[in-house]
Amino acid sequence: MQSELVLAPMDGICDMAFRRLCRRFGSGMSIIPFLHARELMASDLEMNPSLQFTPDERPIILQLYDNCEENIILAANNLQKIQPDAIDINMGCSIRSISARGAGAGMLRDPQKIASIIRRLSSMLDIPITAKIRIGWDSKNLNSLEIARTIEENGGALIAVHGRTRQQRLSGLADWDSIAAIKQEVGIPVIGNGDVRSIADIQRMKSHTGCDAIMIGRASIGNPWIFEPRTRASVPQSEVGEVIGEHLENMLLLYEPLKAISRFRKHLVRYVEPHALSDDLRLRLLTSDHLVSLLELLAQAGFAIPNRQKLMNCVS
């Protein structure tokens, strides 16, 4: 790991365009999130757009989820072909359709299955096996210490801990005490996750939990500067424009133009959020679906895009 700050594997957010940007700003590794094991057991991996990554993203981790142990084993074995640096097992997804059938955070209710998966993978593969967990299914079933010990005892190399239960999803406060307890319990590296929204939060979590690294999710959207680390308020609008241009260029190289602009909106809304824009301009900016009009609206909003011609070349 090249930094103690790590971009969280957010489904629908952490495509190659955003991962590369955050790596440039200092994120310590790239995690390709939320790969369904059932779809990767015997597929042609080179044709799968979700598995694209570049050499400058290494170390690169592939994150698998499934409720079937055999699917995970077969998928992980197949994924060795593209030479990831580690494989992560998702035990943190709280989406009902996933967790209710025993995948994601639903796996926390079956420590024996976790033990078997981690043991089999760590003995079968030549790369580290890691896991991302929550502190439990709900407030009555807080078993993260048991899960952490199980992961370590069966060969797991690292644990990332989101300090909320599956029931909480993203609501309420993250329990940093539980992250600290896991760090004290196991000898493998622990990454803390949850309620890190600022530079001050980074320092507080580090001090409170003693964790080896800190995973940053929602606070990084529209704010890759947090990985430097640098406060968003200190970034001049001209620099924001430069990064918007870089990020958009990455998107246009990855997707066809309409899809790139559509997917970029969830980032753009956060890039412009701290800046004083009229409601009308903000609305037009965030609903534009054509590159030329988007660039014109960004200029009106005060975000100079220095690589405008490169962006136009991407769609010509």
Q: How many CA atoms lie within 13 A of 295 on its CB side?
A: 15
My answer on whether omega of the bond before 306 falls inside 30° of 0, hence cis, is no
Burial degree of 207 (CB within 10 A; 0-12, 13-18, 19+) = exposed
DSSP H or E segment with residue 177: helix 176-185
Rounded CA-CA distance 113/98 in Å is 16
Q: In whole angstroms, what separates CA 263 from the centre of its chain?
A: 16
Torsions phi, psi for 298 (to 5 deg): -60, -40
CB atoms within 10 A of CB 249: 19
Angle between helices 291-300 and 237-254 (to 10 degrees): 170
Indicate the SS3 state at residue 193.
strand
What whole-number distance in Å separates Cα of residue 242 and Cα of residue 311?
12
**Residues carrying an active site annotation:** 93
For the sheet with 129-136, list strands across it: 5-7, 213-216, 190-193, 158-165, 129-136, 86-91, 60-65, 30-36
Cα(164)–Cα(95) distance, rounded to whole angstroms?
13
